Copies of this chain bind each other. A is one copy, B any other.
Amino acid sequence: MNIGIIGATGLVGKEIIKLIENNHLKIKIKDIRLFSSIKSIGTTFVIKKQIYKTEELNENSFNNINVSIFCSSSEVSIKYAKIAISKGCFVIDNSSAFRMHKDIPLVIPEINGHLVNLSNGIIANPNCCTALLCLALYPLHKRYKIKKIVVSTYQSASGAGLKGLNELKNQINDYNITDNKLKTDVFGRQYLLNVFSHNSEINLINGYNDEEIKIIEETNKILDSEIKISATCIRVPVLRSHCESVNIEFTQKVDINNIFVLLNEQDGIDIVDDRENNIFPEPINTENIHNIQVGRIRYDLSDETNSTINLFLSGDQLLKGAALNAYQILNLCQNININKYNLKN
């Protein structure tokens, strides 16, 4: 399988390259081609002792590629995904461009990996918070149908890309030196030692930002359109890994011990819930870790019917929230007939 990575020099692109280098799923990869924006063309990567340089993306880039992973903007995905398919190249798209398209599967391999086989050439990778959230909700919804969730996020700088991450890093460096005159070009406000509403565009009518709408719509698409979802997205001064505080109301009484069992049995989840030592999920402990952590698992005491629980989760938004999920989809692509796209060429 020849693969292409579009946006190789970005935070997510670099994580995909690392995953391919380590290749823990032993995906059979023949050739790799890397693409970047014009200003980064020629950036060098060493993958398994072989040197790769990023190229400019154009209409002919996809000719000998079987699967391309897009880790760039929605604009790039919209412009090139269809060209890729027309050249017989399967697309895994990290942008939000196609996620809500009714004919395009939105895939978390642990939940709905089978949809890869039904794809018409594009598989969408979910929003970072959505991926972490759905993985935790999935085993619970399967056993006890979820009625409503209320989620508040604690999102890191890495979700805003390299520029956002660097701005927070620079603010730490500058904090002691420059007498608190910190550069705030990306977020327009001090990020260090602060908390603020997510920096995505806001719908002026309903007051929701794009990130919140993505969590709501994508979770409904992946899990169940009937689940009622309320989301509030907040950035916290953390470099990497997101957290989410989730109140989950089920359609029936649940057994909290069984909730632990269900989460423990779910691939991709580590339970971190040590009440005696006050050890629960923390973003600093999920950085660079494939599994998400789930803890603070307890009944909502205000619901006397025992139909509602709370939990707190943390996961690396660059891994399960982006690159790892895409890499897992790439693994599933090995089993589908890539040739059917080649035939269209």
Contact = CB atoms under 8 A, between A and B. Distances in A.
Given A193-B237, A232-B310, A302 B243 contact: no
A195 B154 contact: yes
A312 B199 contact: no
Interface residues on A, range: 35 or more
A52 to B, nearest CB: 31
A188 B285 CA distance: 14
Contacts of A298: 206-208
A212 to B, nearest CB: 9
A53 interface: no
A50 interface: no
Contacts of A301: 206, 208, 216, 230
Given A172-B175, A194-B238, A202-B275, A302 B148 contact: yes
A339 to B, nearest CB: 43
A178 interface: no
Interface string A218-255: 00000000001110101011110001010100000000
A50 to B, nearest CB: 33
A300 interface: yes
Interface stretch (A12-20, A80-88, A119-127, A276-284): A276-284
Interface of A: 148, 150, 152, 154, 172-173, 175-176, 188-190, 192-197, 199, 202-204, 206-209, 216, 228-230, 232, 234, 236-239, 243, 245, 247, 273, 275-276, 278, 280, 282-284, 295-303, 308, 310, 312, 314
